[in-house]
Structure 1
């Protein structure tokens, strides 16, 4: 078997879209005997960035809660035979996904997309779109309606 991917990053925001992406990422991880990295980006509280551009202690209460939630998700949805790691970082989601992918030498990013169109897309922007545009590695996006064929 040819191993296309050794390290797969799956950003998780706990939405149905990111959980669908997790199913896709898990399937690819098993097919490639890769290591899966689950990343959650905790938002920086409003106004905090203006007062403290590089916080020395980046909101540990928020990160701790999200780390526990992400660890629980991993225990519930990822088989014991799969190698994985959970990461929680504060900051801008797209920027942190790109930085993490670079820092860990990720081979593939698998992420959910909300599929917003029109004004909603213009106003809210798209984390997935920015990651696709700026990533140095392939990015696979999945909608919550994605159906995954299990590895044989």
Structure 2
């Protein structure tokens, strides 16, 4: 006899330190308690004038500061997971947030994305559209947007 057992899914929660990202993480824990949850922080690399003259944008002081902040954000998520009696895997990568989120989904076999409706940036959202909006439009897996 073959035992049919539903396999666990991988749920990706992009986090940026915003209240909406925290709400998205809490939603994922509540609605996907048996699944693997990954909290991903993407460090946006500088572009334009200063980046053009840098040999390695990853070593620029503002990127080093962003990496430190990213580790703090993921530490906060790990603490929240412990408070919720949940397990979380954390990852930190660099690049364009929507692109990196979507490539992570493809490369790491993610089944669903749970993302906050708004992040920390305000002006960029008005000019370029939010990360959540770009992820929703381009994702090939289901996306839940949490307020």
TM band (smaller chain):
0.7 to 0.9
TM-aligned CA distance change 1:56 to 1:111, over 3 Å: closer
Given that 2:117 and 2:132 are in contact with CA atoms closer than 8 Å, whether structure 1 keeps it comes out as: yes
Given that 2:58 and 2:64 are in contact with CA atoms closer than 8 Å, whether structure 1 keeps it comes out as: no
**Which residue of 2 is the match for residue 22 of structure 1?**
25
RMSD: 3.0
What TM-score results when the alignment is normalised by the length of structure 1? 0.73
TM-aligned CA distance change 1:88 to 1:113, over 3 Å: same
* CA drift at 1:83: 3.2
Gaps of 5+ in 1: 144-152
Return structure 1 stretches of 4+ with deviation > 6 angstroms. none
In structure 2, which of residues 137, 143, 147 is the aligned counterpart of residue 139 of structure 1? 143
In structure 1, C-alpha distance between the alignment counterparts of 2:36 and 2:68, rounded to whole Å: 23
What TM-score results when the alignment is normalised by the length of structure 2? 0.75
* CA drift at 1:60: 4.5
* CA drift at 1:133: 1.2
Residues 1:73 and 2:74 are matched in the alignment: no
